Structure 1
Amino acid sequence: MATLLETDAVLKRGLKALAKADPVMARLITEGAVPPLRKRPPGFEGLAWIIVGQQVSTASAAAIWGRLRTILDPPGPERFLSLSDAELRGAGLSAMKVRTIRATATEIVEGRLPLDRLHDLPADEAHDCLTRVKGIGPWTADIYLLFCLGHPDAFPGGDLAVQEAARIAYGLDGRPDAKTLTALAESWRPWRGVAAKVLWAYYRVAKAREGSPVT
């Protein structure tokens, strides 16, 4: 596995490798789609934060997380399991997110989800470990691997912004689905995570050119 995305130097290595392997990636980077490093703490807190942020705006996720964090002290799986559904719903979590984070906390406490060892696994194996937990889907798994562990080859092919950026960048007739985009991403291994970051950055560049807001 390539070195984890923990420094700007590693990110630059990934960008250089992508530019060499794919002329479209080279063009995007030259046009300004240079992503920031962006990394969140790994472990239960980071994974819970990602689950909280699913399908809500950044502002809403921050507000919910702020309320949850006040009762989640210390922010570990054991503490989460000690809270009632009513307390968690009072912080703003939906019933589905309560179930997902509770299932995640249970898997960690009972030793079936080794969050502390996922960084040693290839991206696909680490992804499978996460998606075995009821409620954790492919997008959540890949976002955790990429932004919390800094896994350079994690690839969220189901992310709509990544799909739309790929459509524009590669001149596709329609927005590619997760399967199509994941197949396209094979040529970016072992830096698919860096490629996703480039596509996110390009999405912002493209939307800025259109004058469209980026949510």
Structure 2
Amino acid sequence: MPITPQELAVAREELARLDPAMAHVHARTPVFEWRVREGGFVGLFQMIVEQQVSVASAASVWARLKTGLGEVTPANLLAHDLESLRGMGLSRQKATYGQGMARAQMDGAIDLEHLSTLDDASAIEALVGLKGVGLWTAEAYLLLCEGRTDVFPGGDVALQEAIRWADRAEVRPDARGAYARAERWRPWRGVATHLLWAWYTGVKKGQILLDTAE
């Protein structure tokens, strides 16, 4: 579960204390809620469905899946062949990934419903062991679906750009640079991620202005 608003406020203050750049971001970013998504098999599969398509397209495919399957479960997904799933809007690749995840869940190769019993590193290792789940997806799942407070998706481009703004740098860090930069924010790298995302979104929507020096 995500941390409470009170805990989030304390963590933001701690990040500001740890890093002047984060103090700058903290001072300019209003209070926000932790972004929460459904977890378990459904949450991970939905993240796969949403990748590389528009928000509207993803919503449409997910609605068709729920209608076609009755309920999105591992058993129901495996009860349909690939062509049937393609008829519900999935690409062959995503249908294959989904069935692989469903089979792993039902066979006990992974327990997505109780992944919270594993520490961050072990959970990431288990997730990336599933075909179709890369490092970014694994980290984003743990951050958004399980509310973990020290998971950092360093490959996220928006996050990298927000780091560039915060550091007033000319060049956006790559994933390796972002991970290295985030070391200073332990044990609140997940909170730093949400704070930087909120700041980035506010700037892009024109709700927060960057200083001219930035």
Aligned position for 2:108: 111
Question: Residue 203 of structure 1: SS of its match in structure 2?
Answer: helix
Gapped runs of 5+ residues in structure 1?
Answer: none
Q: Partner letter of residue 113 of structure 1?
A: I
Normalising by structure 1, what TM-score?
0.89
Is the alpha carbon distance of 1:149 and 1:210 closer, same or farther for their aligned partners in structure 2, counting shifts above 3 Å? closer
State the Cα RMSD in Å.
Answer: 1.9
Q: Does 1:92 align with 2:104?
A: no
Candidates 149, 153, 156, aligned match of 1:156 = 153
Q: Distance in 1 between matches of 2:88 and 2:19?
A: 45
- Deviation string, structure 1 residues 50-100 (Cα, Å, up to 9, x no partner): 111111222221111111111233321111111121221122211221121
Q: How many residues align?
A: 208
Q: Distance in 2 between matches of 1:141 and 1:152?
A: 14
Of 107-116 and 66-75, more deviation after overlay is shown by 66-75
Equivalent runs, 1:1-215 vs 2, <5 Å = 4-32=1-29, 34-209=31-206
Q: Partner letter of residue 74 of structure 1?
A: E
Select the structure of larger CA radius of gyration.
2
Q: Partner letter of residue 161 of structure 1?
A: A
Gapped runs of 5+ residues in structure 2?
Answer: 209-214
1:210 deviation in Å? 10
Q: Partner letter of residue 78 of structure 2?
A: L
Contact map agreement 1:33 1:199 (CA 8 A) in 2: no
Normalising by structure 2, what TM-score?
0.89
1:209 deviation in Å? 4.0
- Deviation string, structure 1 residues 98-143 (Cα, Å, up to 9, x no partner): 1211111111111111223321322222111100111100111111
- Deviation string, structure 1 residues 153-203 (Cα, Å, up to 9, x no partner): 111111111111111211222221111101111111121111111111111
Question: Residue 128 of structure 1: SS of its match in structure 2?
Answer: helix
Q: Distance in 2 between matches of 1:160 and 1:65?
A: 25
Is the alpha carbon distance of 1:121 and 1:9 closer, same or farther for their aligned partners in structure 2, counting shifts above 3 Å? farther
